[in-house]
Amino acid sequence: GQQLNQSPQSMFIQEGEDVSMNCTSSSIFNTWLWYKQDPGEGPVLLIALYKAGELTSNGRLTAQFGITRKDSFLNISASIPSDVGIYFCAGQLYTGANSKLTFGKGITLSVRP
């Protein structure tokens, strides 16, 4: 089956720093999505990307859909303590009525004050 690779498993940064996370796949996707999960809660959709090469921002977050359709990155600028959480990438491939979403295993982000 399709697999998404997110690494490293954990990242530690200083408050105010920028951080970039990559997500790669051996398969192509039509849609890339980035989610954040806080402890004890469900994931929250941050950014959705629908077109190869697309660059989208949401506040301090910027994400890009790779030209090859096999990768995406998420950038967080000027990190703050509430950015702490698990960040998941997900890829979706539409094949007729089939629209399964595959998630990466997530990156746990810690922000030191």
Q: Which residues lie near another protein (CB under 8 A)?
A: 1, 9, 31, 33, 40-45, 48, 88, 90, 92, 97-106
Residue 107 vs 111, nearer CB to another protein: 107
Are 75 and 10 in contact by the 8 Å Cβ rule? The answer is: no
Rounded Cα gap, residues 2 and 14, in angstroms: 34
Residue 52 vs 93, nearer CB to another protein: 93
Residue 26 vs 98, nearer CB to another protein: 98
Which amino acid is present at 7? S
Which amino acid is present at 108? T
Rounded Cα gap, residues 67 and 71, in angstroms: 8
Q: Provide the minimum distance between the beta carbon of 45 and another protein in the complex, in angstroms, as a whole number.
A: 5
